[in-house]
Structure 1
């Protein structure tokens, strides 16, 4: 098994290379990708004057949404490991329009607490699953919350309920150069928290209580623009850096390969409907300064019908 330090170094290198694609598609990611975080955004219910931490803020769209919710008397702090994305976030969302917004480039796993703590709540859209040492990262989040502060996050469930991720990768990869190592087992990646028992164990070890994990199905609605949709999904995925390094002919072939495998999600003249299976995670920060060593608290697993209409 690869040690945490190696995984952390690999993560930093990956996000340095991936940043360009995320920056290029930031507006599309905010708009089409919003359902991936909408259940958590609704549940965190940020209120005026609150202090909210956005973990894995990327190019800042979710932090801006939180900043609007907390208003001029509140604070929304976005933190991300990719310095280039944080720079882009600052350029996209100025304090002139969002008075309480702040951004910091940092590895959440190596901080004691996030500057600006304590926070009333922490929000995270599809980022916790990408931590090299999730216990360390979640411990920092817990320390950065006031006692009883709430954590609300989304992560992917498993690959079977997120088939478009595989379709994009399998369609593009044969036409590109070497790709980064694909995650194995519990290594950081889209499905590292597919098992809710592991997710519960991580949060409990980090000092969270009252953990609930709810399956949640959403749909990403993308326009009927096959080439553009394929390029977006390739660039924000594991093949993004290899795609940008490929010659134009290789890029065109990669897009065409992805388009072919994504066709089953397309309704001609309407667009793409990409189904995503998530876990909606909620928890409360324990009051101790160190992670709790008590017996695991009761965990609630909810089942809910598929959501065909998303925000």
Structure 2
């Protein structure tokens, strides 16, 4: 596996190229993609006047949801590595309409603490799995929380319970130019935390305690529009930059190719039902400095999957 500096540079380049697709589909991602973060949002249960950190805020939808929950006497602070998405978040959710909301351009892995710390809680929807150095990123989260502050996050489990991810990419790829490097082993990517034991080790070494990892199954409900759904999933996935660089005929072929492989998730006249298998992660910030890497991880507390179709 490449070293952390190489992976971090690769991440920065990827998100610079991917940002345009996420911005274009920001409203759709907020609506259809909400179930990907809903288990963590429900578990976190943000309360009025709390200060909450949103790690990997993207175009700001989850930060705005947190801001609405904590109200004008609280604060919701989003941080993301993609400059264009942070700019979009500030435009979509201005402070005059969302009191207490802030967005910062930063790499969570290289910060000492996030501006606005200490926070009562931290939330993350599908971001921890994308960190080049997840121990560094989670250590920053822990340092940014008050002692006893809580973390709730979601990440994907493995590819077998998230088949639509492969369908969108494989269907589009033959009609596009070169795709970015696809992750292998524990490199940052959607399935880097498929093994819950690794996730537990990362959180424990970062100084987080009371770690729980719960399998959670959700469904994203998309409209019955093959062209729209295919383009959305292509543009927010690894093929997004190649898709936008392709000629119009190539884009049309890529959408058609993705739609063919996504058809098994379609209910005619109803829409697409995209199943997603997640880990719901919770932890508490310890008061002491992070333990050494030789410390043994706590036992993983597995629970039965639940169905969440918010």
Normalised to the residue count of structure 1, the TM-score between the two structures is 0.98
Distance 2:301 2:224 in 1: 36
**Where in structure 2 are the equivalents of 1:132-211 lying within 5 Å?**
132-211=132-211
Mapped pair 1:75 → 2:75: yes
Report the number of matched residues: 309
Offset of residue 306 of structure 1? 4.2
For the Cα contact (< 8 Å) 2:172–2:234, is it kept in 1?
Answer: yes
- 2:118 aligns with 118
For the Cα contact (< 8 Å) 1:123–1:151, is it kept in 2?
Answer: yes
- 1:274 aligns with 274
**Where in structure 2 are the equivalents of 1:2-41 lying within 5 Å?**
2-41=2-41
Distance 1:81 1:305 in 2: 31
Indicate the SS of the match to 1:198: helix
- 1:310 aligns with 309
For the Cα contact (< 8 Å) 1:209–1:297, is it kept in 2?
Answer: no
Which stretch has the larger CA shift, 292-301 or 268-277? 292-301
For the Cα contact (< 8 Å) 1:210–1:297, is it kept in 2?
Answer: no
Q: For structure 2, list consecutive stretches of 5 or more residues without a partner in the other structure.
A: none
Normalised to the residue count of structure 2, the TM-score between the two structures is 0.98
Distance 1:234 1:7 in 2: 23
Offset of residue 95 of structure 1? 1.0
**Where in structure 2 are the equivalents of 1:202-221 lying within 5 Å?**
202-221=202-221
Indicate the SS of the match to 1:215: strand
Indicate the SS of the match to 1:301: coil
Distance 2:177 2:305 in 1: 41
Distance 2:35 2:128 in 1: 17
For the Cα contact (< 8 Å) 1:210–1:299, is it kept in 2?
Answer: no
For the Cα contact (< 8 Å) 1:286–1:292, is it kept in 2?
Answer: no
Offset of residue 295 of structure 1? 3.6
Offset of residue 297 of structure 1? 5.3
- 1:95 aligns with 95
Distance 1:135 1:76 in 2: 23
Offset of residue 292 of structure 1? 1.9
How big is each residue's C-alpha offset from its partner over 1:84-115, in whole Å with a ceiling of 9 and x where there is no partner? Answer: 00000000001111101000010000000001
What CA RMSD, in Å, does the superposition of the two structures yield over aligned residues?
A: 1.0
